[in-house]
Every structure is written in C-alpha cells, then in structure tokens.
Chain A
Amino acid sequence: MGMVPATHYLALGAVLFVIGVAGFIVRRNVITMFMSVELMLNAVNLTFLAYARTWNQVDAHIFVFFVMTVAAAEAAVGLALILGLDRHSQTLDIDSADKLQG
C-alpha cells in the first residue's frame, strides 16, 4: 500500500468545502448552518496540511493551529448567538431574523 497522493487530499478538501458552502446557503436551521461553517474550516485545514506535506514546510501547520483557535472562539460566540436567537423568537429558522434590511 503506497502513499496517498496529495491530489486526493486536495480533492477531498474541495468537496468538503463545497458541501459546507452549499449547506450554509440552503439550510435554514442555524445549528446546521453552524456545522456547515465548521465543515468549511476543516476543509481548509485539510488543504493546508496536504500542502504542508507536499512542500515539507511547517508554516501551514502553524496556520492550522490558528484556524483551530479561531474556530474554538467562533464556536463559543456562535452558540451564544444561537441561544440568543432561540430566546428572542422561539425558533431556529434563520429566515425569521431578517429585520435589518436596507
């Protein structure tokens, strides 16, 4: 069993990213959308790591740590927002929060 080529990782990352984007746009449940964001972040992480291995560089690893830190912070803020939305309008449907418009 030989090495998995980098293109496979990159393809998987791209597919995961597009699923995240699509999920974020089409789903109306806030929690699902939140999960889609996480999916996109991890797709990017995967891509970073694939390149890091290809070029034998450590920089991308450091980037991944940063992304994970930001994702943790974002999870805390995002969950607070979801709770706030639920308390305010007793629903998790994102389309109900459209009062702020031009």
Chain B
Amino acid sequence: MIEYFWLALVPPLAGFLFNGLAGKRLPARIVSGAGCAAIGASFLFLLAVFAEFIRLPASEQQIVHRLFTWIQAGTFTAECSFLLDPLSMIMLLVITGVGFLIHVYSTAYMKGESGLYRYFAYLNLFIFMMSLLVMAGNYLLLFVGWEGVGLCSYLLIGYYIERRSAGDAAKKAFVVNRVGDACFLLGVFLIFKTFGTLEFGSLFETVSRTHPQPEGGFTVLAAITLLLFLGATGKSAQIPLQVWLPDAMEGPTPVSALIHAATMVTAGVYLVVRSAALYSRAPDVLLLVAVVGVLTALLAALTALVQRDIKKVLAYSTISQLGYMFMALGVGAFSTGIFHLFTHAFFKALLFLGAGSVLLRLHHELDLFRMGGLKNSLRVTCWTMWVGTAALAGIVPLSGFFSKDEILWRALDSPLGHPVFWVAGLVVAGLTAFYMCRLMFLAFYGSPAHGHGESGSEAGTAVTAPLTLLAGAAAVAGLIGLPAYLGDHRLDRFLEPVFRYSYDHGVSASHASHSLELLAAGAALAISLLGGALAYRLYARDRSLPRRLADRFPAIHGTLQRQFRIDEAYSLFVVGGLKALSRRVLWRVVDVGVVDGAVNGTASLFRRWSGVAARMQSGNTRTYAAWIVTGAALVFLYLLSVIG
C-alpha cells in the first residue's frame, strides 16, 4: 500500500473538481460535507501510510514513485515523480490533519455565506497544491505546487469579492510572491545548468560527491541557495518580502489559519530544509538566512505589540515565528526548524480559529479595544486560546516550549550559531509572551467594550471540537522532540534519513553540558513569564498606562503600528520608482516612440509610396503600353549585358 502514497493527492483534487463544477447547484450541507470528506479521507489514508512507513528501516524510508515522464526535450527531462521520506511524511500529516480541522471549523464559520462552493473548492485545491509541493520528487514539480499555493492564496484572500480591500490584498499577496517565485525559478535554472538534473535524489547525491566540503564566498552553490532563499522569503513572509502577510487577513479567518499554520508560509521553510544538502555547503548563505530570520522575528514581534486588530496581532506573530524557524535553519539546525513548524502549526491554527470564534460572537468586530469580558460567554474559546498562547509563549510543558527552546539552544550551541542570535531570540520570546497575553486580556477580560451583551455562546460543536483537538495537540506535540536532558529526541531521529547527503556541521551533537542547556531554558522561560506579567500589569489591571505611553511617544508608537513604515517605503521607492519608470521611459519613450513609432511609421511609409505607385495606374491604355515596352526594353538590355 505504501507505494501508492501519492493517491493521497486524489481526494482533495476530486473535492475541488466536485465542488468547483457541481457545487453551485448543490445545497450547502453537501458542498461543505464533500469538502471536509475529501481532506478527511486524505488524512486517514496518510495515517495508514504512516503506520506502514514508520515500520520500515531508516535506509528504506525514501520511496520514489515515478508516475510518468512529464517533459522530455533534448537533454532536459522532468519526471512527474513523487517522493515520500520522513520530511514529506510529517509535512503531509500536518497539512491534511490541521487542514481537516480547519475544514470542519469552516462549515460553521462560513454558514450562510454565498458562494460556499467556491470557498470549499479553493480550500480543497489549496490542500492539493500544498500536498503536491511537499510530495514532489523534483524541483520543477515542487514549483507547480509552489505556484498553485500562490494561486489559491490569491483566490482565498480575495474571497469577499465585493470588498475592494480584499481584492487589493489578494493582488498584493500575488505580486509580492511573484518576486520570490521569479528568484526561485532562476535558482532552479541554475541547478539544472550546473548539475544537469532536478530530481532530488540524484541531485543531492551528485552535490555531495562534487562538493564534499562547504565553501565560503560566492560559489555556484551560494548563488543557487541564495536564489532559492529569496523564493522562500516570498512564500514564508520574511524580510524583504514579508509585506503581503498582514494584508492577507482580508480573507475569511479559517483561511488565515490555513495559510499561517498548515500551508503556504511553511512552504519556504520546507524548501530550505528539502535543499539542506545545498544549504549546508554554503555557510555564508546560511548566515544570511539566520540574520534575516532574526531580524524578521524581532521586527514582526515589535510590530505585533501595538496592533489593535486581533488578526493582525496573530499575523505578525506568524511572521515572527517563521523568523524563528529561519534562524534555526540558518544555524544549520534543519530538523529543529521543522520541529517548530510542526508545533507552530497546531497552536497558530488554534489561535486563528479562536480569533474566528471571537469574531463570530462579536459580528466581525476586529478591534481588540472594543472587545473585553468574553471569558464567560466563550468558555471553550477562552481556555483553548490560553493553551495556544502558553504554547506560543513557550511555557513549560506545552509544545512551544520544547521547539522554541531548542531553537534558542541551537542558536547558542551550534558551530554556526552566535550568542547574538540567542539574545535576540530571548527578546523575541519576551515580546511574544507580552503581545499574546495582551491579546488575551483585552479580548476576554475586563469590562465589555462591545455592544453585543454579556449573554451569547459558542457557535457550536463544529467550532469547539477543532479548538479542543488543536489545544490537545498544541499541548502535547512537543513530546516528540524532548531535549537531551529529558530524554529522546524522536523527531531528530525520524528525520535523519532526510539529511543523509547534507554536510554535517555537528549541529545536533551537544557541545556543552546539560546544566548549561537547562540554564538557557530557564532564562527563556523566565523572560516569557516576565513578558506575560508585564502584559497583565498593563492590560489586565490598569489600562490607562499604554494609552499614556502611546500619547507620550507618538513617533515610536506610529512607527511600530505601521510596521516600521516598510509598506510606505515600498510604495514610495519600489512602486513609485516603477510608476515613474513606466510613465517617463516605458510609456513616453518605449511605447510611444518605439512601439507606436514602428507601427505608425510603417503605415505612413506605405501610404506615401503607394501614392507614387498609384500614379502609374493612370487608366490610359497607351501609357500602360509604354510601361510594358519600357519594361521589356530594360529586360532586353539586362539580358544583353549578361550575355554580352
């Protein structure tokens, strides 16, 4: 059965086709039921595959299935091949598992929306494309999934087609991603030009033979990895392409959960980990990855501190956590990045779905300062979101504690790490705890600042069941990656075969004693608790101080609120520059001068010369005769000159 693992792609695709083609005329129950069933079937199938997969010896946990030869042109061959290894296995389980819960939740959240068939069709296509992305056996097929995910995010962010801002946000996400996609494609071209293959297995094997040692400086591997990383920054919302993600909150809340937790943003992390054999041999690019990750984590966490929009807080939090993941990848701890991706998928999906539950109760009031006092009417949402918050803040023993702590420890301990990364990570941990507790206190405690009354309840089992399940997962998911001082890191061992061709920097070997690791963990925990306590002081007990601080330092507050004015800078320099270039050069010179000039010039040239030629056609027979004679005479003279 295991060799048919690629059949997991079929149910989401079937669901997409079913809802996309026939859903319009079907009742909402069938549409949403089909959407959920498709992903549920895929998940159950993958669980069965996993049960078989985990019994295989590690050396055989690399199953390649060639479906057919996709492109054959000269020496270029692209197979339609699928790869199942521990990395794609774990990604597939997260995508379909979390995706399924989000589908179920959507049936309640989207109840009564028009165009439900469209929603579920896109959602299924999203899962299909993401599964294709992580299952692809070569870079080109991966790119198909990569583009498909971008398309689906565009369709879903712009789901509320009657709202202009939704359309704008969708376009922004698409265009910003396009920049990354172009770099990704260039990287793929360079891979083929250099190594002559795009299949993961043979490519990484070749690389490990031709480049046994990592090399600093601008080698061809550095160029490839840099281009791929730029692609990853687009999908995973890292500096400099992070601007699309906060705007993507325009989509329905379950879509945000799907984009942020299980699909889309994890694609960049996946790409880097998949290419670990390349990245581990380009240490300078790894350093860049780490620096970008740290900067993104810091910047996004600072921005999240002052957001009023509940979904924006979570959006910046996602960017910040992705920064953590890239920091882990940058210090060479690839499996640690996947570990955090894994735990983050649960608690971030949970937090978004919880926020969606709040929005349902408050009729889509997004402003945190107009919430408050919801803890009595939304009991399940409140306690599950506390689990998510604690997990995200890294409170022991929830999942986030283990994964975040491992990232911090690797940043300090890895040969590629640096204490600066560790300190920055600690600061981000404190900020994370602060902004999440702020969100919780503002939304659920204090007196209600909304006009929707004290009474009211959860939206039903379809909302609370996914929340409860995700809370359970967010609580215990960390146990698959216990730190060395507690026991066995199962995830590390499970993922080992993935990195067989990577250069081993000795990241996972511990360089320091357990006591130092424990001390570092304690420091991270203390800082998180401190952040939470500060949020309690500022937002639970006396809410006047934040207001006074904001009034006192309007410049800092405004800068933070507007994400360091990066959007403004982009629209001034990039968009403005492009517009000026388009108007001054491309329109006035190239379009008017060259393109129009060539077309109009051709036309006027022919008009002028056809006037001359038309004069020969006088209508007078004898003139024609004279022309014939002249022509014949010329031919005669020519023949004479040739013969004579």
Contact = CB atoms under 8 A, between A and B. Distances in A.
Contacts of A97: 619, 621
A88 B165 CA distance: 76
Interface residues of B, number: 13
A99 interface: yes
Interface in A54-98: 94-95, 97-98
Interface stretch (B202-210, B303-311, B338-346, B622-630): B622-630
B618 interface: yes
B622 A99 contact: no
Contact of A94 (B614, B615, B616, B622): B622
Contacts of A100: 619
B622 A25 contact: yes
B615 A95 contact: no
Nearest to B614: A102
B620 interface: yes
B618 A94 contact: no
Contacts of B615: 102
Contact of A102 (B617, B621, B622, B626): B617
A94 to B, nearest CB: 5
B629 A98 contact: no
Nearest to A28: B622
Contacts of B619: 97-101
The size bracket of the interface on A is 10 to 19
A95 B618 CA distance: 11
Contacts of A102: 613-618
A10 interface: no
A21 interface: yes
Contacts of A95: 620-622
Interface in B591-641: 613-622, 625-626, 629
A5 B613 CA distance: 46
Nearest to A97: B621
A27 B3 CA distance: 96
Interface centre among B614, B616, B617, B621 (most CB of A within 10 A): B621
Contact of A25 (B616, B617, B618, B626): B626
Contacts of A26: 622
Nearest to B618: A101
A24 interface: yes
B625 A98 contact: no
A24 B629 CA distance: 10
B610 to A, nearest CB: 9
25 contacts: A21-B629, A24-B625, A25-B622, A25-B626, A25-B629, A26-B622, A28-B622, A94-B621, A94-B622, A95-B620, A95-B622, A97-B621, A98-B618, A98-B619, A98-B620, A99-B619, A100-B619, A101-B617, A101-B619, A101-B620, A102-B613, A102-B614, A102-B616, A102-B617, A102-B618
Given A25-B629, A94-B621, 9 more contacts: A24-B625, A25-B622, A95-B621, A97-B621, A98-B618, A101-B618, A101-B619, A102-B613, A102-B615
Interface of B: 613-622, 625-626, 629
